[in-house]
Amino acid sequence: MAKPTNAAMIAANEALFAKAVIRPEWQGRIDAAAKRLCHPQNKAWFTEESARLKRKGYDVPWFMIAVTKEMEAGPDIQFLRSIAQGDPWDRPSVNVPRGRGPFDDWYEAADDALISCAPYMALWKNWTMGGALTISMKYNGLGYFTKSVPNPYLFSGTTAYSRGKYIRDGVYDPTAISQQVGIAALLLGMQKFDPSVTFASDNVEARPSSEPPKDIVDDATKGARTARTAAGAGGAAAAANETAKTGAKTGTVVPSSTPLLPSVAAYTMIGVAIAVMIAATITIAKRKAAVEAIW
């Protein structure tokens, strides 16, 4: 199994791209999509978003914003859908990442998607061809890389990919063939229509830090941490209920004016609280691991 370090993924994707050629039967579809993305009216959206990010201290090439939108939100010529997952940006998202928004406009949604949502493209530093393909691959998961097979999300439509596809979460079919144009094919097509689609030659560090920043981990685990805290408070209240009842019987505490729960109800609350706290702790660990894995 290939080890999914950034350096290993960048090198593998660079090597695959070097031999990738657009398949003739895909050329028409790829040219149509590439020409649309490079059209001045559409390009203006992507260059403005790239400039917005730069003013905030981030660097994402306009064409990487373009292909991310194409893969995650489709053509969407009116820019009504978020590039995070293709949901309308004017309401809370229902697909992963869930609960993002509503936003005031497409740009605000794009800022959130690129800065605050996995795989945190705005925090990426390596814009070589291999680096660009690697951060894009992280939107789709690392399953293909760990199997040492070309990722169709990147290479479908090129000679670097022939078959093999995850047909649903965790289920890989070696005979299935992707029908979606891959990002490498889109970028090759865009280079025909716009000379500014170029890549860095310096193979710099992919991320600004070896571990994800605390605020990113905190954001990913916020819901589970809130549930754990609430459960702990509920369990403590139920335990205090039983302590008060015991004290009242022995005369060691002053009786409270608040009615006390029956013991069965109190112990049920304690049991539920413990179960919720355990489940939340497991969820926190899993979400933290997921962030670290994609980082």
| Integer angstrom CA distances of residue 97 from 145, 165, 240 | 22, 22, 39
Number of domain units in the chain: 2
Give this prediction's pTM.
0.83
Token pair in block for residue 235: 């369990």
What are 156-196's pLDDT values in tens digits? 999 999 999 999 888 999 999 999 999 999 999 999 999 99
Is residue 41 included in any domain, yes or no? yes
184 and 38 together in one domain: yes
pLDDT at 276 over 70: yes
Predicted confidence at residue 64, as pLDDT, reads: 98
Torsion of CA 94, 95, 101, 104, to 10 degrees: -100
Torsion of CA 115, 120, 126, 130, to 10 degrees: -140
228 and 268 together in one domain: yes
pLDDT at 202 over 90: no
Token pair in block for residue 112: 């959130």
What are 135-148's pLDDT values in tens digits? 999 998 899 999 99
Which is more confidently placed, 254 or 16?
16
Is residue 58 included in any domain, yes or no? yes
What is the band of 230 on the pLDDT scale with cuts at 50, 70, 90? confident
Rounded CA-CA distance 266/253 in Å is 19
229 and 158 together in one domain: no
Is residue 97 included in any domain, yes or no? yes
Which is more confidently placed, 192 or 229?
192
Token pair in block for residue 16: 């695959």
Domain that holds residue 184: 6-193
32 and 152 together in one domain: yes
